[in-house]
Amino acid sequence: MTDFVVYDVFTDTAFGGNQLAVIPDATKVPEGQLQKIAREFNFSETTFVYPPNDPAHTARVRIFTPTMEIPFAGHPTIGTAIALAASGAPKQMVLELGIGPIHCEAEGNQAQFQTTAPLTILAQPAVELVARCLGLPEDTIKTDVHLPTQASLGLPMVFVELKERENLRRIETATDAFREGMERHPGDLDFALFPYVRDKAVIHARMFAPLDNIPEDPATGSACATLNALLSQIAGTPLQLTIHQGEDMGRPSRILTEAIAGDPMPINVAGNAVQTMAGTLTL
């Protein structure tokens, strides 16, 4: 039997934020069951923790969505760091992820990590296609700062700025349009969209990846980090952002991001997490 814990991440209140299942010791879990376990939890991500390849590091972490393994994601990194700290790991830790070692700091219910991966711009999907995906008129999409942009710090998403907060509430996704987007612009996630509204340093956002069995994600740290990198690159200066996500699905989340001057520009991501469950896999 194998223990697990469940955290709500990017929130300080139980039943908010984004759910994460953590398997703190996955060494005895058969490889063929990893994806099945993630699908059984059916959270946006589940993490499996192993001894590090480098003994100077804290742990090796594998991240699974309900449909695939992915190299990097933000809320699993924050939640796993807090879970490891709760079980006795040092405050300063290095987690080995699919994109390489990530430096983390966790204490109590708070954690932060820094990614130094370079920003990659992959594509600029058509406004018309993105609007159909979101079920919105084309004129709700704001294009004066940037066109819809598929970008990545390790996990590609399409970033779409909308003109009004009400536009976020009105979104009704169209799966057929997402399939068309996936065919035109393939990636590790199948045409995941991150629409947002910006008011200076405050962002309100939603994230949709229906083709990956994630109809909507309450908090997406990797996307928030990438958005900060993208907007900082456009502005020509490092930005600090407070990103609110999950409000329109009843799981409010708060993600703090900070870009640091450099080339590539490091991005810090910070947030809270609250443990809500603990149990045993009876496999």
Q: Where are the beta strands (DSSP E) in 168-252?
A: 193-199, 202-205, 207-209, 214-217, 240-245
User: What is the spatial distance between Cα 232 and Cα 241, in angstroms, rounded to a whole number?
Assistant: 10
How many Å is the Cα radius of gyration of the chain? 18
Residue with tokens 């490091």: 266
Name the strand (E) or helix (H) holding 228. helix 221-235
Which is catalytic among the residues 31, 40, 45, 172?
A: 45
The distance from CA 76 to its chain's CA centroid, rounded to whole angstroms, is 8
Q: With residue 279 as reference, give the H or E element that holds it.
A: strand 267-281
Q: How far apart are CA 169 and CA 29, in angstroms?
A: 41
- Would you call 45 a catalytic residue per the annotation? yes
Tell me how far apart the alpha carbons of residues 81 and 107 are, in angstroms, rounded to a whole number.
9
Single out the residue of 116, 44, 43 nearest to residue 269, CA to CA: 116
H or E element, residue 257: strand 253-259
Q: Two tokens at 57?
A: 């590091």
Q: Which residues contact 28 (CB under 8 A, 6 or more apart)?
A: 2
Catalytic residues: 45
